[in-house]
Amino acid sequence: MPGAVVITRPRAQAQPLAARVEALGRKAELLPLLEIAPLPDPAPLLAALARLHQYALVAFVSPNAIDAAFAHIPQWPAGVTLAVLGEGSRAALAAHGITPQTVHIVSPADAAHSDSEHLLQTLDLAALRGKPVLIIRGESGRELMADGLRAAGALVDVVPAYRRSVPPLTPALAATLRRLLAQQNDWIITSSEALRGLHSLLREMDLRYPDATQHNSVVMMQQQHLIVPHARIAETANNLGFSQLTLTGSGDERLLAALQSRL
């Protein structure tokens, strides 16, 4: 009997995947390892959104960036190209009424590699030389997309739209982690930041809430099976001592196919 499928995405993106996991006959456990919150000062975001019509390209790095920005966008300006990384962001755009039928949307040509590197390969960088480009992302993030666009001569503005953080370790969260570690599960990890946060939470848990068994929670977690969509996350997992993992490529369909292969 397979264990549960632990979904570690932020809650808003976790619930649709959980429904599909349960449709496979697996129990889904929601364990959001990143919390998404609005910025204390939205003024820079609002100022950038007021100038949307001036940009040749606006790139969103995540569904959370899309949701945070579109809370303030009444209508997408005509002629402004959108760029996103993957199917989750396309679905988020569609939820706000933005589809390829109405807006030019660019995403990586290879859907199995939804990342900044492959988006840069797909964009017509020569056409963006000297043009203004806006990147909307979380408060912190990789600089690769901005650096790549600037190297191509684009005039890049980077604006944060939300804040993400690892949840605080509470007694309730510690109890949930111990319960999940007590059996073998499949853990869907879609962020290196989330995996590093989990590693830190487990170390803190053993210090603050030791249990009678004195088991090392990090070692117990390293014996769990991880399902990851990107080689960068797999590299983070290996560096943290995880060896039981499946690398799927981007997209929920590939994550679900990996789960089906373990039934």
Question: What confidence score (pLDDT) does residue 93 get?
Answer: 95
Residues 103 and 181 in one domain: no
Single residue among 114, 135, 164 that ends a domain in this structure: 164
SS3 105: strand
Structure tokens at 129: 């030389």
Q: Are residues 130 and 106 in the same domain?
A: yes
Compute the distance between CA of residue 44 and CA of residue 59 in angstroms, rounded to an integer: 16
128/205 same-domain check:
no
Tokens read off for 68:
């945070």
The rounded distance, in Å, linking the Cα atoms of 5 and 60 is 28
- Identify the domain boundary among 110, 142, 164: 164
Among 143, 164, 185, residue at a domain's last position: 164
Residue 112 has a pLDDT of 66
Instruction: Pick out the chain residues at pLDDT < 50.
Output: none
196-205, long-range: CB < 8 A, 24+ apart: 196/236, 196/240, 197/33, 197/34, 197/166, 198/8, 198/33, 199/240, 200/166, 201/33, 201/166, 201/167, 201/169, 201/173, 201/177, 202/177, 204/169, 205/169, 205/174, 205/177, 205/178
Strands 35-37 and 155-165: antiparallel
pLDDT at 124: 93
Residue 237, pLDDT score: 97
CATH number reported for the structural domain that contains residue 68 in this entry = 3.40.50.10090
Handedness of CA 107, 108, 111, 116 (dihedral sign): negative
Q: How far apart are CA 105 and CA 58, in angstroms?
A: 10
> Which spans in the chain are helix H?
11-23, 43-50, 63-70, 87-95, 116-122, 144-151, 171-181, 192-208, 217-222, 231-239, 252-260
Residue 135, token pair as written in the block: 């990147």
What is the C-alpha to C-alpha distance for residues 97 and 33, in angstroms, rounded to an integer?
29
pLDDT, one tens digit per residue, over 23-77 is: 999 999 999 999 999 999 999 999 999 999 999 999 999 899 999 999 999 999 9
Q: Which residue has the tokens 């000062």?
A: 41
Task: Find the domain containing 130 and state its range.
Answer: 37-164
Are 206 and 239 found together in one domain? yes
